[in-house]
Amino acid sequence: MLDIKLLRTEPELVRENLRKKFQEEKLPLVDEVVELDRRSREARAKGDALRNRRNSLSKEIGVAMAEDRREDAERKKTLVTEMAQELADLEALEEKLASEIREKMMRLPNIIDPSVPIGRNDGDNVEVERFGEPAVPDFEIPYHVDIMERFRGIDLDSARKTSGNGFYYLVGDIARLHSAVLSYARDFMIDRGFTYCIPPFMIRENVVSGVMSFAERASMMYKIEGEDLYLIGTSEHSMIGKFIDTLIDEESLPQAWTSYSPCFRKEVGAHGIEERGVYRIHQFEKQEMIVVCKPEESSEWFVKLYRNTVDFFRSLNVPVRTLECCSGDLADLKVKSIDVEAWSPRQHKYFEVGSCSNLGDAQARRLGIRVKNKEKGNYFAHTLNNTVTAPPRMLIAFLENNLKEDGSVAVPASLRPYMGGTEAIVCPA
């Protein structure tokens, strides 16, 4: 959510940002918010004037009673009584206007960073850098489900019976690999100075509204029927919610967390869910990074976060690239975002395995996350998040890039301690 002062002083900047994000349909919101804000401040000023007058009259009533000027005191009491209703009406109007302003402000996107490329959709995203050689072996790389089935490691048919498309059973060595990758990711981030956390997997509506836009919620979140609870789509949601309505000591910043959680997503608008495949699914697990920091530190942390993912995947022999998200592809709360994409030797292309985002103070404004500073005054923190790894999608890249011609899958040295020392996964006889 933007600072209302920005709309008062620089409404054209907000309009230009909407144009850069190709959201011209929201342009009328700027004038509507400005007008509502004017009316709100006017009502507040009238209310303040009335309160001051009421306080003065109350003092005058006390003096009149002390001097036995009862008629004068009663007349002024009548005035105070009349003011009470006017004040109640003004307070109700202020509350109504504040609600309307917030609702409209929540629909306005964050101001994007000047470095963000301008484009309408993900087709206009810009490659930044490649890490590792995107090789294609001489032998054929099977579809990822076929690889898993060779190891008797996945059962989609049973999952379809119990839960429908977009779910899976992982079995045996593939299930063990899945857990090993998450355990390695946890320790990888702890070794980089992040504090490990397992958060709640359900959150209330006010937290949902604080961490994501309305459009994201509609396409992602599962609502628990009859309760004020949603299943999280990523642990970022509950981790940022952890700081709701807090005043953080500046000395405790930055705070760097790495969190594990299952994730649940409706995947609305995803062109359906594959019957065979674990690329786009309703349920998965993820290791995440979350940072709460000072505004002047968020750009530096942004780079650190996506480089952590790059380094993690490279340690597992998976080539990756970074892709700068264009203006039209940025979710409304994001200032800047970079996707990390893994190489698929089967498809001869990269696919997304993580997304790093700087949200500026948007989430902090919505959730009331402030930093205490006695000299300069309290201010809103900046928040960032990034994916370390999200199997089973990550397993697609791992299996394809570590598959050998004999059908076995090499286990990189970094992962072997989590696989009982196993150097290769071999198809069962």
| Residue of 213, 235, 344, 355 marked active site | 355
Look up 352 and say whether it is catalytic.
Answer: yes
Residue 50 pLDDT more than 90? no
Q: pLDDT: is 370 or 429 the higher one?
A: 370
Look up 355 and say whether it is catalytic.
Answer: yes
β-sheet bridge partners, residue 356:
338
β-sheet bridge partners, residue 203:
230
Q: How far is C-alpha 366 from the geometric centre of its chain's CA atoms?
A: 12
C-alpha distances in angstroms, 154 versus 175, 232, 421?
Answer: 8, 25, 23
Q: Beta-carbon neighbour count of residue 378 at 10 Å?
A: 12
Q: pLDDT tens digits, residue range 215-261?
A: 788 788 999 999 999 999 999 999 999 999 999 999 999 999 999 99
Q: Residue for token digits 């890039």? A: 401
Q: How far is C-alpha 34 from the geometric centre of its chain's CA atoms?
A: 27
Rg (the chain; Cα; Å): 28
Q: Beta-carbon neighbour count of residue 389 at 10 Å?
A: 27
- According to CATH, what is the number of the domain 4-105? 1.10.287.40
Q: Token digits for 409?
A: 């899958």
pLDDT of residue 299: 97
- Which residues lie closer than 8 Å to 42 by C-beta, 6 or more apart? none
CB-based contact 125:27 (threshold 8 Å): no
Q: pLDDT: is 68 or 378 the higher one?
A: 378
| Residue of 150, 341, 393, 400 marked active site | 393
Look up 393 and say whether it is catalytic.
Answer: yes
What is the rounded average pLDDT of the residues 396-425?
A: 97
Residue 337 pLDDT more than 60? yes
Helices marked H in 130-171: 144-150, 156-162
For the chain, the helix, strand and coil percentages under 3-state DSSP, each to the nearest 5: 45, 20, 35
β-sheet bridge partners, residue 380:
370
Look up 10 and say whether it is catalytic.
Answer: no
Q: Residue for token digits 């790093």? A: 356
| Residue of 280, 307, 314, 416 marked active site | 280
Q: pLDDT tens digits, residue range 147-188?
A: 999 999 999 999 999 999 999 999 999 999 999 999 999 999
Class of domain 122-425: alpha beta
Q: What is the C-alpha separation between 188 and 260, in angstroms, rounded?
A: 13
β-sheet bridge partners, residue 258:
196, 289
- Which residues lie closer than 8 Å to 5 by C-beta, 6 or more apart? none
Q: pLDDT tens digits, residue range 268-307?
A: 655 555 667 899 899 999 999 999 999 999 999 999 999 9
Q: pLDDT tens digits, residue range 88-144?
A: 889 999 999 999 999 999 999 999 999 999 999 999 999 999 999 999 999 999 999
- Which residues lie closer than 8 Å to 41 by C-beta, 6 or more apart? none
Question: C-alpha angle with apex 379: 293 to 23, nearest 5 degrees?
Answer: 80
pLDDT of residue 108: 96
CB-based contact 339:351 (threshold 8 Å): no
* Strands, sheet with 126-131, edge to edge from the N-terminal-most edge strand: 126-131, 320-324, 336-344, 349-358, 382-389, 283-293, 255-264, 195-197
pLDDT of residue 216: 81
C-alpha distances in angstroms, 234 versus 202, 337, 389, 395?
Answer: 10, 16, 12, 18
What are the start-end ranges of the E strands in 206-251?
A: 222-223, 230-231, 246-249
pLDDT band per the 50, 70, 90 thresholds, residue 420: very high
pLDDT of residue 269: 55
- Which residues lie closer than 8 Å to 163 by C-beta, 6 or more apart? 282
Q: Beta-carbon neighbour count of residue 38 at 10 Å?
A: 12
Residue 82 pLDDT more than 80? no
| Residue of 205, 352, 414, 416 marked active site | 352
| Residue of 265, 321, 346, 365 marked active site | 265
Kindly list the domain boundaries of the chain, sorted by start residue: 4-105, 122-425
Classify the phi-psi angles of 17: left when phi > 0, otherwise alpha if psi is within -120 to 50, otherwise beta. alpha
Percentage of the chain surpassing pLDDT 70? 98
Rounded to the nearest 5°, which phi and psi values hold at 143?
A: -60, 145
Look up 133 and say whether it is catalytic.
Answer: no
CB-based contact 233:264 (threshold 8 Å): yes
What are the start-end ranges of the E strands in 202-348?
A: 202-203, 222-223, 230-231, 246-249, 255-264, 283-293, 320-324, 336-344
